[in-house]
Structure 1
């Protein structure tokens, strides 16, 4: 996959296939038009079809390593696991930054960390986790996002779940502290009356949505558990009392300032220098205290930019 610079790549799951193409090289990258396609899924088979039906489309198979879903670049008929694409935050959180490099940021369980902070946008994440005493380390996952823009607060999280069922929706979404109710059907859409630029669309009947704030960001959200196989392979030590449900995420940002910061945000700065060993099997970003927030909607992390400068006064309509 190509190295990504600003802005990051839009992803959508197979159940709502989006075409994504990224050209490596200069900043910003040259994107091919993103178009929705029709699909069928049997044994990971997906059918891409041009929405204008000017091309016959193609049929591909998801890579076998993809847990449930993949994304398809229909012009080239190439399929990739969602968590292998740029702009993602998956698993024990593995990030792919704006510079195209993949790294891990473990943080601490039951704490909140600033993923991105800009004068008019701030995104915190709440981490859940489990300590493996045999490995003397703490595994962590993103359980919820707290998003601030203009004078609005958007919460997206997954409920703690003992026994996971893919057909039972465990996502919880609130906007300005009011619950967001959506029909449990694919492509069901909710739009805010107080901020018409904000919309949420289901990508499947349960546990998957795309959140878009026009002109600012698009976030693909998937709620997933830690499976027995995940636990066995990675020594997570998951027990039957908690499936450690968490969020796999993919971001696209439409406009960021040159001073953006945060665990993920700093990788979109034009002056960002990656000091991690990208050749390491698991390059880890340190400096957790710089990104720690007192709660999910606080902007008190050391690297906060929210509310600073003229950009913060731009109305979101």
Structure 2
């Protein structure tokens, strides 16, 4: 994996956060270009602001974006969904922590892990995977998120599909009571859903299929993109994908607005002010160990060892609080390098 200099990563991070902030202020200005051969590979932006004389422009995905990119209209600035900025998870889960460093967390297939756990927010990820007999671990990908806030449950997942069709929608959304209120969005860019019981929550399409932005105003913003493991990916990396399952999974971008300093979880711990990165950042594949500390008994359960959900946040943060709470710093698991 190519590694960018820290200065480059920092600049990209700033640009991407500016893009996401702008899109939050002007819903619909951020669109997704799908690279499907020559079809839909370009996007024309026009300035919809009243009395604007700014001409339109045409955006094309950079070569380093393999399948999709984000375009911010009307400037036509483009970004790869998996650019290295804080709060990203892509592929065989590669995370980018709040400190800008990249790391892998393999977990185990068919299990759930605490990604973020805070007093008022808990996010689990369900992992799917394939076993490579020549390795001591599974190849894993994030198939779904289980998000809890207040008394609500939100499910965002990728539907299992044997043969990938980019034009078909493979994203699955459900709200509260294990899916009793299923979320259905029209297949149009900008289509939006918001529940009457939680009006600050919204789900918006940024492409006709497979890409949505989930936002809880003032708390988080999540870009979720369903992608498959292609035959080429499988050939290059030895994933062993068969014809009966394309291993559809989620590439994710997280933006958090109101985390406490007691936050924990695979990604959440990197947002603490007392967080110390103990990774070997020069390693080809820096890996976080300690999976047992993050495993949950279900997609909506907050029973991982480092769970914070439902706890009072009045105790404050800092090194002393972290030590008292048994905080776990990131480590490098040498056997996977």
- The normalised TM-score by structure 1 is 0.84
Residue in 1 that maps onto 2:5: none
Partner of 1:205: 208
Indicate the residue corresponding to 1:271 in structure 2. Answer: 274
Secondary structure in structure 1 of the residue aligned to 2:288:
coil
Give the drift of 1:8.
Answer: 11
Does the 8 A contact of 1:260 with 1:266 survive in 2? yes
Cα deviation digits, residues 275-313 of structure 1 (max 9, x gap): 1111112111111111111111111111111001157xx
Q: How does 1:1-12 map to 2 (within 5 A)?
A: 1-3=8-10
- Alignment CA distance shift 1:40-1:161 (3 Å): closer
Structure 2 residue aligned with 1:234: 237
Which residue matches 2:325? none
| Structure 2 residue 71 is matched with structure 1 residue 95 | no
Cross-structure match for 2:324: none
Give the aligned partner of residue 137 of structure 1: 137
Gaps of 5+ in 1: 11-17, 22-30, 312-317
* 2:19 alignment partner, SS class: coil
| Correspondence for 2:328 | none
| CA–CA distance in structure 2, aligned partners of residues 181 and 32 of structure 1 | 23
User: Once superposed, what is the RMSD of the aligned Cα atoms?
Assistant: 2.8
Q: Deviations over 1:41-81 (max 9, x none)?
A: 89433444554345446544312242321124669865332
The answer to whether the Cα contact below 8 Å between 1:19 and 1:34 also exists between their aligned partners in 2 is: no
Alpha carbons of structure 1 residues 127 and 181: separation in structure 2 relative to 1, 3 Å:
same
Taking CA–CA contacts closer than 8 Å with sequence separation of 6 or more, which of the two structures ends up with the larger relative contact order?
Answer: 1
Q: Which has the higher helix share?
A: 2
Check if 1:253 corresponds to 2:256.
yes
Partner of 1:120: 120
Maintained 8 Å contact 2:33/2:61:
no
* Contact 2:89-2:253 within 8 A present in 1 as well: yes
SS at match of 2:117: strand
Secondary structure of the equivalent of 2:209? Answer: coil
d(CA) in 1 for partners of 2:99, 2:286:
14
Aligned length: 294
How do residues 26-65 of structure 1 correspond to structure 2 at under 5 angstroms? 35=26, 36=29, 43=38, 44-52=41-49, 53=52, 55-56=54-55, 58-65=57-64
Deviates more, 1:98-107 or 1:39-48: 39-48
CA separation in 2, counterparts of 1:201 and 1:61? 22
Report the Cα distance in structure 1 between the residues aligned to 2:155 and 2:76, rounded to whole angstroms.
Answer: 35
Contact between 1:7 and 1:252, CA under 8 Å: does it hold in 2? Answer: no
Residues 175, 182 of structure 2: 8 Å contact kept: yes
Question: Displacement of 1:148 after TM fit?
Answer: 0.5
TM normalised by structure 2 equals 0.79
Residues 202-239 of structure 1: CA deviation (Å, up to 9, x unaligned): 11222111111111011111111100011111111111
